[in-house]
Amino acid sequence: MSGRAAARTLWESARPQGDVRRRNASAWLPHVTELKRDMRRFADSDEVDMVVVGCGAGGATFTQRLAHAGWKVVCLEAGPFWDPQKDWVSDEWGSHHLYWNEPRVVGGSHPVPMGSNNSGRGVGGSMVHFAGFAPRLHPSDFRVRSGDGVAADWPLSYAQLRPYYQRLERELPVAGQYWPWGDPHPYPHPPHPVSGNGEVMLDGCAKLGIEARVGPVAIANGRFGNRPHCIYRGFCLQGCKVDAKASPLITHVPDAIAHGAEIRADAMVTRIETDREGRRVTGVRYVRGGREYVQRAAAVAVAGYSIETPRLLLNSTSRRFPDGLCNDHDLVGRYVMVQGAPQTAGRFAEEIRMYKAPPPEVSTEEFYETDPAKPYVRGFSVQTVSPLPIMWAEHVAEQGHWGPDLRKRMTDYTHWATLGALCEFLPQAENRVTLAEETDRHGLPVARFDHSQCANDGQLMEASRKVMEEILRAAGATELMTVERYAHLVGGCRMGRTAEEGVVDADLRSFAVPNLFITDGSVLPTQGSANPALTIMALADRAACRLAGKEPR
Amino acid sequence: MGRMRAWPGKGAGAVGRAGTWDPVTAGVVLARLGPRHEPALRFFTPREEAVAEALLDHVLARSPDDPPVPVLTVIDDRLATGEYDGWHFADLPQDAEAWRRSLAGLDEDARLRHDGRGFPESGYGERDRLLRHVLQLGSGDWYGMPAGHVWKLWTRYACEAYYAHPHAWDEIGFGGPAYPRGYLRLGRGLREPWEEPR
Ligand SMILES: Cc1cc2nc3c(=O)[nH]c(=O)nc-3n(C[C@H](O)[C@H](O)[C@H](O)COP(=O)(O)OP(=O)(O)OC[C@H]3O[C@@H](n4cnc5c(N)ncnc54)[C@H](O)[C@@H]3O)c2cc1C
Ligand code: SF4
């Protein structure tokens, strides 16, 4: 590590936490399950300052920031208010209920199965079962059109988002080695010890001269406020019962409740209401316990994930918006992106037991930026992933193994290590969410997501597979298997400089209706090769600060 | 699966460690070992049951010596209650309907090729060939559905049921639930004292 990196790391990890606590005391407050009992309740007829739809990465962060600034906020969440001790288990199949299991239809030439990659429901959103990788985007991600001549530029720059990245890294908190890529930066918590899977990646990369780093993961290393430390049990994608891994349920909701926000769970929003002329939104219609209610609000923020957010807007038609709210320019539901996420596994003579320790351990961003020597633009990152038995079985079955072959290969589980890539697929107008004929139990049309790859996407998938194979081989793998997968849906209501370019502006305010905001992953115009949650939270933080006039100095 | 390690007997393996699990997890996992509620099947008709059982025997290579891992009843339960995975391919109907149609298709394929004998009544080798045929069709059409997507539906449901079971974990060396105990010995070639060499 260079002297500067060492000095910055020391400064970051030794700094007092007073500012974190003043901004967001979640980690120091009683457990959310306790706080919930005395939570403030608003009446439907109260016109609250803001109603937020969805309590996930974007929605919960936005709610906490506005409540902290003194706003009256109600956050409506379709799923339950989880109690990690009672509702989550240390078991793969037993965690099926964490997913959004209402019907969705997937089509296109490269359809994206939801399955174990499905978005979440319930307070905390998808971060309840996200792996926990928490990297930032690179500065180049904000100007892909200027830099590479493809996709789009963001209406804001990396520098404008940087302070928010920093704030959130301290609040989650993020653990990892000094980060040499993009905008180099230290992390507040030191890197976690790695398991067999992480050792394989570090070893393979070292042999090939590829820089790799431990982290960055949103898992406290050591205590953080009242939050306990990680016990390396490996069930991060099943919800962290320990409360060591960050999710808004424990990182932002406690402070929101302490500042008078109401998190109203089991409340499925079915429509955003506007005034007669469609000039302003007036509240939202929602179903709770089979009954329909309308919560009045001076402003609305939609944060239901890249599929449900466009679906809600498309389902909210009116005379003014016959094709869906904010859809004057046919942008709602378009440019939905997934990262190409092939996983390559290697077999080793010794036991790896990849199910131990958090799956997110080690990453490299050596291949992140455009390399003029390559036939494709943009790039990919490589990270550790550690499928549990069911996902591993699907991995093996995907290779065409079945019957005796499948069972036999499965008995070798403890000898395999797995890496995953995140390829920056480019946004395309035809990759979109529309409404299907099929309806859900509320009688609302469900979302259909069509996805096709472009040539650049395919080249990235291929290139990343080769790199992962080389790393595993260098570490001593004798046999390899790759499955093509996708991960991390973002986009669908992208931000832009003008109403023709985006649904919302850089402050996440919709161009069509000035008191309607979109504060989740659907606003991303491009996705980089970084996992998106931290960026989504940073954008929501920035939007809330701009709105409340409390920008960090 | 005679080649595999013998079923280690009650009380050993993952289930033997149930005392170290938190009660909620133990409740969920141990329920997979107990009796299933009646009526045993609610979704599959008797004919579909016969076809599905034969199909699952092939997909999961099950033999009479295998430890008892319920698969058909688990799938039936999911389809009866609509506990799907939250998505389906646009060129396939919803999971329940896709299961019905694909089972009828298999039976029909068998009858056409084997003088009117259905899928369960065909011999092992015959069934194996019929399934290989479906797999080889890839994205080609099979009874109005892309064969590859049907194949994924079958293997997905089969794997989700089978590899959720503690007996299957013992077979592959997975430790099972690990809360509140966690792991202390991380790294290549390292084992907890209770982890058996594989
Ligand atoms: C298996 C998996 C692993 C992942 N791993 C990582 C990772 O390692 N790192 C990373 O950065 N990202 C990861 N992600 C992605 C990350 O979790 C998401 O990108 C992020 O949480 C999305 O944030 P969001 O605010 O857009 O939506 P969400 O966090 O999904 O929140 C949306 C919320 O809105 C609710 N909602 C939806 N519609 C309605 C409605 N009509 N009414 C009321 N409520 C509604 C939903 O129930 C949900 O709780 C992972 C995702 C998955 C599925
Ligand atoms: S490995 Fe650590 S962070 Fe992951 S679920 Fe377990 S305790 Fe939580």
Residue range A2-50, pLDDT digits in tens: 889 999 999 998 888 999 999 999 999 999 999 999 999 999 999 999 9
Residue B1 is predicted with a pLDDT of 40
Is B40 part of the contact surface with chain A (CB cutoff 8 Å)?
no
Q: Give residue B152's domain range.
A: 39-164
Question: Are residues B15 and B75 located together in one domain of the fold?
Answer: no
CA distance A117 to chain B (A): 10
Interface of B with A in 103-142 (CB under 8 A): 128, 131, 135
**Chain A residues close to B1, C-beta within 8 Å:** 404, 407
Question: Are residues B132 and B181 located together in one domain of the fold?
Answer: no
Ligand 2 atom nearest to A235, measured from its CA = 5
**Chain B residues close to A400, C-beta within 8 Å:** 135
Q: Which two tokens stand for residue A458?
A: 């395919």
A117-153 per-position pLDDT tens digit: 789 999 999 999 999 999 999 999 999 999 999 999 9
Calculate how far, in angstroms, residue A202's C-alpha sits from the geometric centre of ligand 2. 21
* Overall CATH class of domain A3-548: alpha beta
Residue B38 is predicted with a pLDDT of 66
Residue B9 is predicted with a pLDDT of 38
Residue A414 is predicted with a pLDDT of 96
Question: Are residues B94 and B142 located together in one domain of the fold?
Answer: yes
The CB of A532 under 6 Å from ligand 1? The reply is yes
Question: Are residues B16 and B80 located together in one domain of the fold?
Answer: no
Residue B40 is predicted with a pLDDT of 80
- Please give the residue of chain B at the shortest CA–CA distance from A198: B187
A508-525 per-position pLDDT tens digit: 999 999 999 999 999 999
| Closest among A523, A532, A545 to A304, alpha carbons compared | A523
What integer best gives the mean pLDDT of chain A? 96
Distances in whole angstroms, Cα of residue B172 to Cα of each of A393, A408, A409, B86, B130:
11, 9, 9, 28, 29
Mean pLDDT value of segment A365-389: 97
- The proportion of chain A whose per-residue pLDDT surpasses 90, expressed as a percent, equals 94
Say if the Cβ atoms of A389 and B3 lie within 8 Å: no
Assess if residue B87 is contained within a domain. Answer: yes
Contacts with B75 (C-beta within 8 Å, 6 or more apart), sequence order: B52, B56, B99, B157, B158, B161
Q: Could you give the count of Cα atoms lying within 13 Å of A325 in the half-sphere of its Cβ?
A: 31
Question: Band of the pLDDT at A1, cuts 50, 70, 90?
Answer: low
**C-alpha radius of gyration, chain B, whole number:** 19
Question: Are residues B43 and B138 located together in one domain of the fold?
Answer: yes
Residue B6 is predicted with a pLDDT of 41
The CB of A395 under 6 Å from ligand 1? The reply is no
CA distance A448 to A306: 12
Q: Could you give the count of Cα atoms lying within 13 Å of A504 in the half-sphere of its Cβ?
A: 32
Q: Which two tokens stand for residue A461?
A: 């998938």
Question: Are residues B83 and B148 located together in one domain of the fold?
Answer: yes
Number of domains observed in the structure of chain B:
2
**Chain A residues close to B189, C-beta within 8 Å:** 196, 350-351
Which regions of chain B are under pLDDT 70?
1-12, 38-39
Say if the Cβ atoms of B59 and A404 lie within 8 Å: no
The CB of A231 under 6 Å from ligand 2? The reply is yes
- The proportion of chain A whose per-residue pLDDT surpasses 70, expressed as a percent, equals 99
> Which residue of A353, A395, A405, A408 to mutate against B (max B Cβ within 10 Å)?
A353
CA distance A521 to chain B (A): 20
Mean pLDDT value of segment A337-351: 96
| Closest among A285, A335, A337, A316 to A512, alpha carbons compared | A316
- pLDDT top residue among A352 and A551: A352
Question: Band of the pLDDT at A417, cuts 50, 70, 90?
Answer: very high
Assess if residue B195 is contained within a domain. Answer: yes
Residue A377 is predicted with a pLDDT of 97
Say if the Cβ atoms of A96 and B179 lie within 8 Å: no
Predicted TM-score (pTM) above 0.90: yes
A225-265 per-position pLDDT tens digit: 999 999 999 999 999 999 999 999 999 999 999 999 999 99
Assess if residue B169 is contained within a domain. Answer: no
**Chain B residues close to A106, C-beta within 8 Å:** 87-90
Question: Are residues B138 and B47 located together in one domain of the fold?
Answer: yes
Closest residue (by CA) to atom 14 of ligand 1? A130
- Please give the residue of chain A at the shortest CA–CA distance from B135: A400
CA distance B86 to chain A (A): 4
Question: Are residues B55 and B120 located together in one domain of the fold?
Answer: yes
Mean pLDDT value of segment A412-430: 97
Q: Which two tokens stand for residue A378?
A: 């943009």
Q: Is the pLDDT of residue A391 over 50?
A: yes
Interface of B with A in 8-37 (CB under 8 A): 21-22, 24-25, 28-29
* Domain residue limits, chain A: 3-548
Mean pLDDT value of segment A67-89: 97
Do A488 and A527 touch, CB atoms closer than 8 A? yes
